[in-house]
Structure 1
Amino acid sequence: MDIYTSTLSPALDIGAGCYLLVIAVLSIVGNLLVITMAVKRSSRMKPPELLSVNLAITDLGAAVSMYPLAVASAWNHRWLGGEATCTYYGLAGFFFGVASIMNLTILAIVRFIVSLNLQSPREKISWKTVKMLCMWIWLYALIWAIFPILGWGRYGPEPFGLSCSLAWGQMKTEGFSFVISMFSLNLVTPSVVIIFCYFGIAFNLFFTYKKSLNNSKRIPNIVKLHRRLLAIAVLVSIGFIGCWAPYGLVSLWSIFRDTNTIPPEVSLLPCMFAKSSTVYNPLIYYLFSQSFKKEVKQMGWRCLGSNSCRVSNSINDNGISMVNMDMKYKTEVTSTQQRSQS
């Protein structure tokens, strides 16, 4: 049987294609909104916010470069293009996946650094540092994506025949070291770092709040802001890791057990669930960031009312920021500290 022929029913193929089409549209629109908002307010954007934009770029890149081919293949009931497009699709998926989780890891570390001294108005992360971190994320992901092309690891079709990824079932012996290294460095370690960083931030917020109660009634506003930003960051991380965890478990099963023991319909579900990870970030920003929601609505009304779409340039509460204090709260902190010293 041709490995690029779907092992699913025609009805399930069409359903999978429609699902991916919806995911693609939501991902492209949502992440374009995040990037557009960032560009509109670039003059006021703080350095660490670039990591949030970088995360949106990874999700947008995955949606644009992968999902159209997957939708067309699903509706054609076989993978289009054969081995060449299969390798391309697997490389793109692995590349953007590693870039996303490393971006979330760096974001958690930066959030932790910022939380070490919440009452300081001085920026702790420079533009140069953040740009270098973004470049490192893309380079690191590219190196890992190229390894299977060079012979360490392998790309291949999924068991259900309508998608391509790392060929887990073929790496039981020849690529086992790649699998162990990949899971250790690109899933387990980042997840542990993210968990420790956010627990550390929670402790810092708690002690800052307790300390501020003895000095001022206004300083807890900083804690409230960072608590909200922490919630957004945690939800984004949980969304990504939660989407990819079932796929990782099925992939590990394919390595240690015969892939034929997993029905095609079962292997399809975690793959489709993992692809939905590109939708959640803009949705979380919209639900939990008041300024992001407000600017999206403003842009929508302006688009409906005129030919040009404009976004308000008023100071907001860092709509897509998950790392900085709002300028309003910085001003409150500075004025409060000045009054306490006088």
Structure 2
Amino acid sequence: MAPSEVSWAELPDDFYLPPAVAGPNITARSPFLVPQTHLAGPGLFLAMATFMGLLVMLGVPLNALTVLCGARYRKLRSPLNYILVNLAGANLLVAGVGSTTATYSFAHMYFSLGPAACKAEGFTATLGGMVSLWSLAVVAFERFLVICKPLGNFTFRGSHAAVGCALTWAIGLAAATPPLFGWSRFIPEGLQCSCGPDWYTTNNKWNNESYVLFLFCFCFGLPLATIIFSYGRLLLTLRAVARQQEQSETTQRAEREVTRMVVAMVLGFLACWLPYASFALWVVTHRGQPFSLALASLPAVFSKASTVYNPIIYVFMNKQFRACMLKLIFCGKSPFGEEDETSTASQSTQMSSTSSSQVAPA
């Protein structure tokens, strides 16, 4: 049978290759059995392995330090910091399992660990990614409630943080579990060296289109809308305060710092997740259109870069976390003479004295 005549219904359940590259003996090119050099040259696999390896070397220690600091230092046990630690835990799951497995597979140029490991990687990466996305949305919404005060003098307490963290994991499980039970499936994607939900095939057995639309709307669109709405309102509020205090250099500087931070947050979110979500949605809505599997690997790989930018933006711009990390690394002493902040801006600080630390996760 010619490659162009291979039907999707005849492909093995554990993986998918487009008919143009599957060949007459599909199983012989299984990503679990042989290097996928028919999809790209060894140089591209090496480049992917190197990039994923860097994400592991940076993402695992950064997020592990965040979790350790949150557990060790009592001063960091504020309600909002619980969500930051929750975010770091989700990132650690993605970097420690998803990125590590992908690094190993790209280095071998095929998913040599087998179908069971593929499902495990797809599940953990999806779970950690969804928890991460919704943690960012919870942080943004909390900042909106505290700074813009739509509910009056709202105080974000530990119980609110616990509910927020539990909600992120509940949503993550709701998003990652269905492919294990027949609503879509986890298969190798792109260059067949990392695994994710099946957004390639049209086999009605898996109901892939509905699952991809569910992920795009509920697990990407909704948290993105929450982030844009919350930080948009936050910036408008800060600009109004700055206009009222035009003579205050501190207020003007705080507005500029917060603006830069918010822009970094939104751009980082979009850079990591928009290509992946958009490409999957395009494939679903343009069935039959040719696309490059090598190109399809890039969005999946870049989405895992969020495990590095998240701690940099949300933690390293936080003086408390930064000081505690330095103390933990250098056995109680900061090599840069950075003082240990015992308290950051109060959650209920009045808007007339707004500073950048009020907006940054405190």
TM range (shorter): 0.7 to 0.9
In structure 2, the residue matched to 1:190 is: 223
Residue 68, structure 1, aligned to residue 91, structure 2: no
Q: Distance in 1 between matches of 2:186 and 2:167?
A: 24
Q: Secondary structure at the match of 1:242?
A: helix
Q: Secondary structure at the match of 1:48?
A: helix
Deviation readout 1:242-261 (Å, 9 max, x if unpaired): 21111222212322335782
Q: Secondary structure at the match of 1:164?
A: strand
Residue 157, structure 1, aligned to residue 188, structure 2: yes
* AA matched with 2:236: F
Q: Distance in 1 between matches of 2:251 and 2:68?
A: 27
Q: Which moved more, 1:153-162 or 1:231-240?
A: 231-240
Cα–Cα, structure 1 residues 213 and 253, in superposed 2: closer, same or farther, change >3 Å? closer
Cα–Cα, structure 1 residues 58 and 228, in superposed 2: closer, same or farther, change >3 Å? farther
Alignment of 1:75-154 (within 5 A): 75-117=107-149, 124-154=155-185
CA contact (8 A) 2:156 2:347 kept: no
Cα–Cα, structure 1 residues 133 and 300, in superposed 2: closer, same or farther, change >3 Å? closer
Structure 2: gaps of 5 or more residues: 1-25, 354-362
> Offset of 1:286 from its aligned partner?
6.9
* AA matched with 1:279: V
CA contact (8 A) 2:320 2:340 kept: no
Q: Which moved more, 1:140-149 or 1:202-211?
A: 202-211
What is the alpha-carbon root mean square deviation over aligned residues? 3.5
Q: TM-score, normalised by structure 2?
A: 0.75
CA contact (8 A) 1:41 1:313 kept: no
Selected match of 2:304 from 271, 275, 278: 275
In structure 1, the residue matched to 2:60 is: 28
Q: Distance in 2 between matches of 1:75 and 1:259?
A: 31
In structure 2, the residue matched to 1:321 is: none
Q: Distance in 2 between matches of 1:221 and 1:117?
A: 22
Deviation readout 1:182-215 (Å, 9 max, x if unpaired): 211111122122111111111222223344569x
Cα–Cα, structure 1 residues 326 and 252, in superposed 2: closer, same or farther, change >3 Å? closer
More helix by share: 1
Q: Using CA pairs under 8 Å that are at least 6 residues apart, name the structure with larger relative contact order, 1 or 2.
A: 1
> Offset of 1:78 from its aligned partner?
1.3
Q: Which moved more, 1:190-199 or 1:171-180?
A: 171-180
Cα–Cα, structure 1 residues 224 and 291, in superposed 2: closer, same or farther, change >3 Å? farther
Q: Distance in 1 between matches of 2:147 and 2:61?
A: 32
> Offset of 1:177 from its aligned partner?
1.9
Q: Which moved more, 1:1-10 or 1:52-61?
A: 1-10
Cα–Cα, structure 1 residues 60 and 232, in superposed 2: closer, same or farther, change >3 Å? farther
Percentage identity across paired residues of the two chains? 22
Cα–Cα, structure 1 residues 149 and 263, in superposed 2: closer, same or farther, change >3 Å? same
Number of residue-to-residue matches in the alignment: 317
* AA matched with 1:156: I
Q: Distance in 2 between matches of 1:17 and 1:57?
A: 23
Selected match of 2:272 from 243, 246, 262: 243
Q: Distance in 2 between matches of 1:139 and 1:180?
A: 19
In structure 1, the residue matched to 2:89 is: 57
Q: Distance in 2 between matches of 1:209 and 1:105?
A: 26
Residue 315, structure 1, aligned to residue 315, structure 2: no
